[in-house]
């Protein structure tokens, strides 16, 4: 390895690194970034081979997904239905530099709400089947179909928004107004740089930044777009949309972990955040901050508290991490609260034990 390289030299570091990288499904991002910077060959051969193997797997998968995405977009274009692809293979191409530089497992397409019914019929005619009941106050619905050569079904999510409608005042019309047409089509568009960054930040918040993937997305956009995103205007829009706390929380956490970002895109508003630490207690404190304190109004916070106390039946089994069962709602929520109380008692025990230690 090059002695001038700032990369670690110990093989044990790369064994641990490949384990972490693969556990978060970010091999293609790491492979492409190392190769782009000319650092890939400065790493051990086994590390390069493992990254390249996963990169090639993602390349094959993304070729299939791009083919299906193009088919759907072509049909939408023929049907005069305005659509904007979100994230996915086109996002990887434009912001990561290659279609395989960022893994994706589904197709996300934003359409106007009045076009939902027509779009649903279109994807059904293409062999996609509805995965779950459409929730009116939600912001997308999902359909899936088996793809030859793929072990898992391909999912297409039809979006008419980017956050739950009753947890903000976000007007999706502003996204459409600034979107640009692509490939000489009046109907297939792409988000502006400003709204792409906004959407990716809110996407990271929705997942509570629980994977390095969401950090990488935000960091990559900061480096690629730095002077093409007006953060002052973005925060003003977030205040109007009722997503200000979500945006500030997300970017504050990312900037706290990677302060070098201040030299690239200065953050105009930042809240104090704790370094994310391991341990059940810190996990719960972070969960409370994310789940209930990320909303701009008390009305939105109370709605989220209610939804957490009385979740949909499907969400109960998702939280319990078990397969959906055809049991009564009362029985289902009993098991949910039993699990929550158990976790709460363990967290309290850890808090007490930590306070009593010298």
What does the pLDDT look like over 126-176, one tens digit per residue? 999 877 666 656 788 889 998 777 778 899 999 999 998 888 999 999 999
Nearest Cα neighbor of 163 from 202, 191, 129, 126 is 202
pLDDT tens across 35-57, in order? 988 999 999 999 999 999 999 99
Give the pLDDT score at 1. Answer: 36
In contact, 314 and 260? CB cutoff 8 Å? no
In contact, 120 and 158? CB cutoff 8 Å? yes
DSSP 8-state class, residue 145: E
- Ranges of residues in the chain with a pLDDT under 70 are 1-5, 132-137, 274-281, 324, 347-358
Give the pLDDT score at 28. Answer: 93
Nearest Cα neighbor of 44 from 13, 6, 89, 3 is 13
352's tokens: 């007490």
Annotate 137-150 with b (16+ C-beta within 10 A) or e (fewer): ebbbbbbbeebeee
Give the pLDDT score at 75. Answer: 95
Give the pLDDT score at 136. Answer: 58
Distances (CA, A) of 310 to 205, 228, 304: 22, 42, 10
| Contacts of the segment 64-72: beta carbons below 8 A, 24+ positions apart | 64/147, 64/149, 64/150, 64/154, 65/89, 65/104, 65/105, 65/106, 65/107, 65/154, 66/99, 68/107, 68/147, 68/154, 68/156, 69/107, 71/126, 72/107, 72/109, 72/122, 72/123, 72/126, 72/156
177's tokens: 């107004």
Give the pLDDT score at 264. Answer: 94
Mean pLDDT over each residue of the chain, to the nearest integer: 87
Pairwise CA distance, residues 176 & 48, whole Å: 42
Distances (CA, A) of 249 to 235, 254, 268: 12, 9, 13
Give the pLDDT score at 135. Answer: 65
In contact, 20 and 14? CB cutoff 8 Å? no
């Amino acid at each position: 390895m090059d002695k001038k390289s700032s990369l670690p030299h110990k093989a044990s570091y790369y064994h641990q690194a490949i384990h972490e990288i693969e556990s978060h499904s970010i091999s293609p991002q790491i492979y492409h970034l190392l190769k782009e910077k000319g650092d890939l060959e400065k790493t051990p051969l086994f590390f390069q081979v493992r990254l390249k193997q996963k990169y090639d797997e993602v390349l094959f998968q993304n070729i299939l997904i791009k083919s299906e995405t193009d088919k759907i977009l072509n049909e939408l274009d023929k049907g005069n239905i305005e659509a904007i692809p979100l994230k996915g293979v086109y996002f990887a191409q434009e912001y990561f530099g290659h279609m395989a530089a960022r893994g994706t497992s589904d197709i996300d397409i934003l359409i106007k709400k009045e076009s939902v019914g027509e779009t649903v019929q279109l994807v059904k005619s293409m062999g996609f089947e509805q995965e779950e009941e459409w929730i009116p106050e939600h912001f997308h619905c999902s359909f899936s179909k088996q793809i030859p050569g793929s072990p898992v079904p391909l999912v297409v999510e039809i979006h008419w928004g980017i956050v739950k409608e009753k947890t903000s005042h976000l007007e999706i019309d502003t996204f459409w107004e600034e979107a640009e047409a692509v490939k000489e089509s009046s109907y297939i568009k792409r988000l502006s740089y400003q709204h792409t960054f906004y959407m990716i930040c809110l996407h990271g918040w929705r997942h509570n930044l629980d994977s390095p993937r969401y950090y990488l997305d935000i960091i990559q956009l900061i480096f690629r777009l730095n002077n093409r995103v007006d953060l002052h205007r973005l925060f003003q829009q977030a205040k109007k949309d009722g997503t200000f706390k979500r945006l500030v929380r997300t970017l504050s956490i990312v900037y706290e972990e990677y302060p070098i970002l201040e030299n690239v895109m200065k953050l105009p508003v930042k809240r104090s955040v704790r370094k994310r630490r391991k341990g059940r207690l810190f996990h719960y404190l972070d969960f409370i901050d994310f789940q209930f304190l990320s909303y701009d109004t008390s009305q939105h916070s109370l709605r989220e508290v209610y939804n957490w106390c009385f979740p949909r039946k499907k969400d109960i089994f998702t939280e319990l991490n078990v397969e959906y069962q055809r049991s009564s709602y009362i029985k289902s929520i009993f098991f949910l609260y039993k699990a929550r109380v158990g976790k709460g008692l363990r967290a309290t025990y850890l808090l007490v034990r930590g306070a009593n230690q010298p």
